[in-house]
Amino acid sequence: MVDYLFGSGASRALPRDGIRFAYSRRSGRLRFVYDSEGLLATVKPSGAMALSLHGAKVLMKSKAFRQNCVRVADETAPFVNGGRSVFCKFVRWAGKNIHPKSEVVVVDSNWRVLGVGTAVLAGKHMALFKSGAAVKVRAGVKQ
Q: How do residues 113-137 score in pLDDT, each as one tens digit?
A: 999 999 999 988 888 888 899 999 9
pLDDT tens by residue, 29-39: 888 988 888 88
List the domain boundaries for the chain: 2-140
Looking at the domain that runs over 2-140, which CATH code has it been given? 2.30.130.10
Q: What is the pTM of this model?
A: 0.84
Please report the pLDDT score of residue 43 as a whole number: 87
Q: What is the pLDDT of residue 70?
A: 92
- Give the model's confidence band at 80: pLDDT under 50 very low, under 70 low, under 90 confident, else very high: confident
Residue 128 per-residue DSSP state = T
Pairing of strands 113-119, 103-107: antiparallel
pLDDT at 100 over 90: yes
Using an 8 Å Cβ cutoff, are 43 and 33 in contact? yes
Q: To the nearest whole percent, how much of the chain has pLDDT over 70?
A: 92
Tally the residues of the chain: 143
